[in-house]
Amino acid sequence: MKRFLATALQPRLLILLVVGIAMVLSVSGNRFFAFVVGITMISILWTAGMNLLTGYTGLVSLAYAGIAGISAYGTVGLTMRFGWSFWLAMPVAAVGGAVVGVLLGLPSLRLKGFYFALSSLVIQTVLSLGFVYFVNLTNGDTGVSQIPPPDIPFTGGSFHGVSFDLLVMFAAWLSVVAVWAITRSPFGSRLIAIREDEVLAEAIGIDVVRNKMLVFFVGSLIAGVGGALYAPYVGFISPRSFDLLASLSIWLMVTFGGRSTIMGPILGALVLAPVPFMLQQYDTLKDVIYGALIIAVIVLMPGGCYGTLLAWMQRSPTARRILPKRLGSAAE
Amino acid sequence: MNDIFVARNLCKSFGGVQALSGVDVVQRADETLGMIGPNGSGKTSFVNAVTGELSLDSGKVNFGDLDITGVRPHEVVTAGLARTFQAVRVFSSLSVRDNLRIARMLLGDAPHALDATDRAELLQWLKLDNRLDAMASGLTLFEQRRLELAMRLMMRPKMVMLDEPVGGLAPSEIREMMQILQELKARCAIFVIEHTMRVIRELADRVIVLITGQKIADGPPVEILKDQRVIEQYLGTPHA
C-alpha cells in the first residue's frame, strides 16, 4: 500500500490525473465527445492490465475481452437480477473473472509465445460462444440493455453524466498507478525475468508458476473492473462487446503505443479508442485502418510509437541524460 | 561424512534412449568434483535432473540435509545449489546492473544476503564493475560467462554446478577463467562439467567419467587420465 501511495504521488502520474480530469470536464458539455472520452478511459484501464500480461510478462492473452465479459455479465446479473449494489457486485464479479483468468492462464505453464496466443484465441472463442449460448444468464445475441448506472452509496443517487465520466477516468488512473507500482516492485522484476527467459528465471530462484498465476490474477482483475464499468457506462452489452475483435483492439492499443512502457498503452488508447466513433459511417474503412495499423506497427515500429521514441531518445546523447534508468523496458 | 551432495542410482530415459542409468555421485563440501564424457554421455542430463529441470525416472538426490529429489528448479536454488548453462544464459535485453538486481532478489534483505561492500568486491573480482550499464547482449562471451557466475554468487550458493564454463572461450580467456574458478573454490563447492582436459586436471580434486549414461570411473584426475577404460572409451590417447 505504501508503494502504491508513493507511486500515485509521482509527479508524472499526478499530471496524468489532472490532464484526465481536464479532458473529461472540457468535453462534458457534449455528451457524444464525453462518451468517447469515457470509453477511451475504460480502454486505458484495459490496456494497463493487458500491458502487464503482454508487455511485462510476455504472455499475449487474446482471451482478455472474454474475461472482461465474464465480469461485465456478472456485475449486470448481480445488480439487475439480485438487486446488489454495484459496489458489491463489481468486486465479486471482477474477482470471479480474475479466478477464471487464472484457470485460463494454466496453458501458459506449458505453452509459450505464439502457441499460448493461439490457445488464448481458442479460449476467447469458447467464451464468446458461451455468452451467446447461455441465454438464461446473458440474454444471448440480444444482449442486455438498460443497465443501471452505479449507485452512490448511502445517498440513493447514482453516477451519471460527468460524475460517471470522472469515475471511469479515476478508475483508469488507478489502474495505471497500480501497474506502475507493480512494474517497480520485486514482483514486476520477476515478471520481466520470466518474459526474458523462463528457464533462467527458475535457475535464479524465481517461482515461475506462482508468478505467472499471480499476474494472470492481477491482469484479469483489471480486465474485470473494466468490464464491470463498461456495462453500465454504455448501458448495453452483448457477446460482440467482448469478442475476439475487442481483445485484438486492446492488444493493438498496447502494441501500437508501446508495450512494457507505462505511457505507451495510454498513448495507444488515446489514439485508437476514438477511431471507431470517428469512423462510424465508414465501418469497413475502420477495419482497413486497424489492419493497416497492425501491419505498420509490427513492421516499422516493433516497440510501438512510445517505445520507438524512447529508443531514439536513448541513442541521442542529449536526450539520454533526461531519461531515467529503469529495469525492464527501453527506459521507463 | 561432510558430504554436501549425494545422488543415488539416478535413472532417466528419453523413450528408448537411456540418458542416465544408475548413476551414483557423492561430493564432499571441501572438494571440487569434475565430470567428463563424450557428447551425449548424459552429463548435462545429470545436472538437469538434479537441479529439477528434468524429472527423474528413479533415484534420490540429497543436498546437505535436504532431499531435493523431484524438487522444482527455483526450490533447488533456494536450498543453495545453483547452476550455470552450457549455452550461456543471461537476460540479454537487460543491462548488467538489472541482471544482477534480479539475481539479488532471491535473498532480498535476508541476513546472509551480500551487502553493498560484498557486492562491490564480487563485481570487481569478476571485472564487471565498469560494465554495469552495458546491455548483457553487448558483452563478449567471456563477460557473459562472468556475469552468469556473478548472478549465481549474488545468491550465496553453497555449491555451483558449472556446465562447460570455458566452452567457446579463447585460450587467453580460458586461462583467466581458470584463475577465477580456482578462486571460486574459496567461496563455495564446485561441480564442473568440462571437455577441456586441462581444466579438469587443474581444477578438479576428483573426476567422474560418464559414458552412455553410466559411470565408468571415479577418482583423482591423474589416475582417471591413465585409466585404460577411459582412454579406450573417451580420451583416445593418454593425457599424462
Q: Tell me the residues of chain B between 105 and 134 that have a Cβ less than 8 Å away from chain A.
A: 105-106, 108, 133
- Which chain B residues contact residue A199 at CB under 8 A? 53, 73, 85, 89
**Mutation for A interface: B47, B90, B91, B135, most A CBs within 10 A:** B91
The answer to whether residue A324 scores a pLDDT higher than 50 is no
Whether residue B155 lies within 8 A of chain A, CB to CB, comes out as: yes
- How many independent structural domains does chain B possess? 1
- Complete DSSP assignment for A150-203: PB-TTTS-B--THHHHHHHHHHHHHHHHHHHHHHTSHHHHHHHHHHH-HHHHHH
The tens digit of pLDDT for each residue in A257-299 reads 988 899 999 999 998 998 888 887 777 777 788 788 778 877 8
Any domain includes B84: yes
Cβ of B78 within 8 Å of Cβ of A192? The answer is: no
B158 has a pLDDT exceeding 70: yes
Q: A197–B83: do the CB atoms touch at under 8 Å?
A: no
Place of cell 580456482: B182
Q: What's A57-68 look like in SS3?
A: CCCCCCCHHHHH
Q: Is the pLDDT of residue B170 over 70?
A: yes
Residue B143 maps to a domain: no
Q: Which of B51, B89, B101 sits opposite A200 (nearest CB)?
A: B89
State whether B73 and A196 contact (CB < 8 Å): no
pLDDT(B42) > 60: yes
Does A211 have pLDDT greater than 90? Answer: yes
Answer yes or no: do B108 and A192 touch at CB < 8 A. Answer: no
Residue count of chain B: 240
Domain that holds residue B31: 3-90+157-235
pLDDT tens for B44-74 read 999 999 999 999 999 999 999 999 999 999 9
Write down the pLDDT at residue A329: 47
User: Could you tell me if residue B106 is inside a domain?
Assistant: no
User: Residue A330: what pLDDT?
Assistant: 38
> How does pLDDT run across B210-226, given as a tens digit for each residue?
999 999 989 999 898 88
Q: Which residue of A has its CA nearest to B79?
A: A205
pLDDT tens figures, B184-197: 999 999 999 988 88
Per-position DSSP letters for A56-97, written without gaps between them:
IT----TTHHHHHHHHHHHHHIIIIIT---HHHHHHHHHHHH
Chain B: residue whose CA lies nearest to A197: B91
CA separation for the pair B67, A124 (Å, rounded): 42
Mean confidence (pLDDT) of chain B: 90
The arithmetic mean of pLDDT across residues A135-149, rounded, is: 91
Contact between chains at A193 and B73 (C-beta distance less than 8 A):
no
| Residues B92, A196: C-beta atoms closer than 8 Å | yes
- What's the whole-number mean pLDDT along residues A165-194? 93
pLDDT one-digit tens code per residue, B72-127: 999 999 999 999 999 999 999 999 999 999 998 877 767 677 888 989 999 999 99
Can you give the residue ranges of every domain in chain A? 2-243
Q: What is the pLDDT of residue A317?
A: 62
Q: Is residue B167 part of a domain?
A: yes
Residue A149, C-beta contacts closer than 8 angstroms, at least 6 positions apart: A86, A158, A159, A160, A164, A232, A233
Higher pLDDT, A297 or A220: A220
Whether residue B77 lies within 8 A of chain A, CB to CB, comes out as yes
Spell out which residues of chain B touch residue A205, defining contact as CB-CB under 8 Å: 74, 77-78, 105-106, 155
Q: What was the pLDDT predicted at A155?
A: 84
Based on its alpha-carbon atoms, the radius of gyration of chain B, rounded to whole angstroms, reads 18
**The Cα angle at residue A77 between residues A119 and A244, in degrees rounded to 5:** 25
Average pLDDT rounded to a whole number, residues B22-35 = 93
Distance from the Cα of B106 to chain A's closest Cα (Å) equals 6
Hey, are the CB atoms on A196 and B94 less than 8 Å from each other?
A: yes
Inter-chain residue contact A204 with B77, CB threshold 8 Å = yes
Domain at B74, CATH number: 3.40.50.300
